[in-house]
């Protein structure tokens, strides 16, 4: 699959190389998000050295790191290093003697720390003294987000204040799907997103398949598919393992979104959830939502949903149907997917419409802030609500269809929005947006001027 985007991340890493006295970058992000590909690309472009840790014994970890460094610093692996401090001191001396500054990349650092809890303190001394004297550039990365953030953001952590660049690698935006996969039709690109979300590893696996059905079946629905057990692997590969949180994901995936509902499904008090839910949010596996206009910290009407489209349909279909998937053949497995696909696509489309709003100023005539849903306990719901700096309120309706909407569909959508009124206290002007993947050829007569039409191509173009 083609390398796309990551321009901002590469720019931040390259900025590290402008520091004359060396420097440190710390990078984190959920698994499958593309950290390794980013760091490999950066190391290749800059002539750097890349090393990825594993879960083996600490002595073997040091040995493997030394052997990898010997490719750059001949003779480095000719001795056995009794501890990390000795190895890093030698690295700084040899690099200085040979005029090598890096960048040196250590990926999956949490695997090293798990076997050597003293390593963060050793790295603190190394970056404060030896690495600075040798003017080395280093990047540390890992998928254990809590640990990686703690290394640089926690005031009590040894590396606090040492990183010159520290950032999370985010999922790719859907506007890059066509460049990465060659899919040209907006509906096909949108369905690709609704199946795989923004994780480059999933894109890489799915792109070679000729059809969505083939990819979904062979990668996920087939019990032998490489992604059939994917959520369990994501949880097990965390440091420490997060497998104990699997039941929470099952509850959310089965339709429980309020804390009380989740706790009720699991037979536990709601007061026991916050810590576990916070970890799932930190891992990028769960998102917390509040209605538009509510304070972000408000817990009264907050909802939890799975963090990306792939997880949503996996927990909605694969998790509860696993016994049947083992017994059924290909056509019957795909029939289960086809029955759920419209809901999968509609949910992803609605989410993309909200994400696109800040980038649609030319189409909407105003620059709106981030969009959210709005709901209340008994009243109607709004798919898209946003506000501009000029106090213009945007109300939007998103309708999924793989075929062009009829003009009457758009009139009905606007009518439903108008009947619902305004969801929040607002005295200023109101604009409306109707979102559909494929719009009719003509704008319907009778549609007011403050109603804007947005199609799938426009949404994708805004999300890059």
CA distances from 453 to 212, 418, 456 (A): 28, 15, 10
pLDDT value at 2 more than 90: no
pLDDT digits (tens, 9 = 90+) for 205-263: 999 999 999 999 999 999 999 999 999 999 988 877 899 999 999 999 999 999 999 99
Residues 6 or more apart whose CB falls under 8 angstroms from that of 288 comprise 277, 281, 302, 303, 304
In this predicted structure, what is the pLDDT of residue 151?
76
pLDDT value at 203 more than 90: yes
pLDDT digits (tens, 9 = 90+) for 69-112: 999 999 999 999 999 999 999 999 999 999 999 999 999 998 99
pLDDT value at 427 more than 80: yes
Q: What is the mean pLDDT of the chain?
A: 94
Confidence of residue 141 (pLDDT cuts 50, 70, 90): very high
Pairing of strands 451-454, 430-435: parallel
Instruction: Find the largest Cα–Cα distance for the chain.
Output: 82
pLDDT value at 413 more than 80: yes
pLDDT value at 3 more than 90: no
What are the structural domains, with CATH classification, of the chain? Answer: 7-168 (3.40.50.300), 175-347 (1.10.10), 352-462 (3.40.1350)
Closest CA to 343 of 372, 307, 383, 313: 313
pLDDT > 70 fraction of the chain, expressed in percent and rounded? 99
In this predicted structure, what is the pLDDT of residue 231?
96
In this predicted structure, what is the pLDDT of residue 241?
85
pLDDT value at 275 more than 80: yes
Confidence of residue 145 (pLDDT cuts 50, 70, 90): low
Strand order across the beta sheet in which 430-435 lies: 372-374, 382-387, 393-398, 430-435, 451-454
Report, as an integer, the average pLDDT of 14-36. Answer: 93
Strand order across the beta sheet in which 137-142 lies: 49-52, 104-107, 137-142, 23-28, 165-168
Residue 159 burial (C-beta neighbours within 10 Å; 0-12, 13-18, 19+): buried
Confidence of residue 1 (pLDDT cuts 50, 70, 90): low
Confidence of residue 159 (pLDDT cuts 50, 70, 90): confident
CA distances from 463 to 5, 172, 192 (A): 12, 9, 15
- In angstroms, the CA 16 to CA 167 distance is 13
- In angstroms, the CA 133 to CA 129 distance is 6
pLDDT digits (tens, 9 = 90+) for 352-397: 999 999 999 999 999 999 999 999 878 899 999 999 999 999 999 9
pLDDT value at 193 more than 90: yes
C-alpha R_g of the chain: 25
Q: Long-range CB contacts (< 8 A, 24+ apart) of 223-228?
A: 223/322, 223/325, 223/326, 227/202, 227/310, 227/314, 228/318
Residues 6 or more apart whose CB falls under 8 angstroms from that of 363 comprise 452, 454, 458
- In angstroms, the CA 8 to CA 6 distance is 6
pLDDT value at 319 more than 90: yes
pLDDT value at 4 more than 90: no
């Amino acid at each position: 699959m083609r390398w796309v985007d990551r321009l901002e991340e590469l720019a931040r890493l390259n900025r590290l190389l402008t520091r004359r006295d060396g420097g440190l970058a710390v990078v984190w992000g959920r698994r499958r998000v593309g950290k390794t590909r980013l760091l490999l690309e950066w190391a290749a472009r800059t002539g750097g050295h890349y090393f990825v840790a594993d879960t083996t014994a600490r002595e073997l970890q040091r040995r493997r790191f030394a052997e990898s460094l010997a490719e750059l610093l001949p003779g480095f692996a000719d001795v056995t290093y009794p501890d990390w401090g000795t190895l890093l001191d030698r690295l700084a001396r040899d690099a200085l003697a040979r005029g090598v500054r890096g960048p040196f990349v250590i990926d999956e650092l949490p695997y090293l720390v798990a076997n050597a809890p003293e390593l963060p303190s050793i790295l603190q001394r190394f970056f404060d003294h030896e690495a600075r004297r040798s003017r080395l550039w280093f990047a540390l990365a890992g998928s254990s987000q809590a640990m990686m953030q703690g290394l640089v953001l926690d005031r009590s952590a040894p590396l606090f204040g040492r990183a010159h660049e520290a950032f999370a690698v985010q999922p790719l935006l859907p506007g890059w799907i066509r460049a990465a996969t060659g899919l040209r039709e907006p509906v096909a690109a949108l369905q690709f997103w609704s199946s795989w979300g923004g994780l480059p590893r999933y894109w890489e696996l799915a792109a070679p398949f000729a059809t969505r059905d083939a990819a979904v079946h062979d990668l996920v629905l087939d019990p032998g598919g490489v992604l059939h057990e994917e959520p369990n692997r994501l949880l097990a590969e965390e440091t420490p393992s997060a497998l104990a949180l699997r039941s929470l994901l099952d509850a959310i995936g089965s339709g429980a979104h309020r804390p009380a509902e989740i706790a009720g499904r699991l037979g536990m008090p709601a007061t026991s959830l916050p810590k576990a839910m916070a970890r799932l949010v930190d891992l990028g596996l769960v998102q917390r939502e509040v209605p538009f206009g509510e304070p972000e910290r408000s817990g009264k009407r907050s909802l939890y949903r799975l963090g990306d489209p792939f997880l949503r349909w996996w927990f909605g279909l694969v998790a509860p149907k696993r016994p049947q998937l083992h017994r059924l053949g290909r056509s019957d497995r795909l029939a289960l997917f086809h029955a759920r696909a419209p809901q999968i696509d509609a949910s992803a489309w609605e989410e993309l419409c909200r994400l696109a709003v800040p980038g649609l100023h030319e189409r909407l005539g105003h620059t709106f802030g981030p969009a959210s849903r709005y709901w209340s306990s008994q009243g109607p719901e709004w798919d898209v609500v946003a506000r501009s700096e000029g106090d213009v309120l945007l109300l939007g309706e998103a309708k999924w269809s793989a075929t062009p909407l009829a003009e009457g569909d758009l009139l009905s959508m606007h009518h439903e929005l108008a009947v619902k009124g305004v969801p929040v206290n607002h005295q200023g002007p109101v604009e409306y947006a109707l979102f559909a993947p494929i719009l009719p050829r003509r704008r319907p007569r009778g549609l007011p001027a403050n109603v804007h039409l947005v199609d799938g191509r426009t949404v994708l173009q805004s999300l890059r």
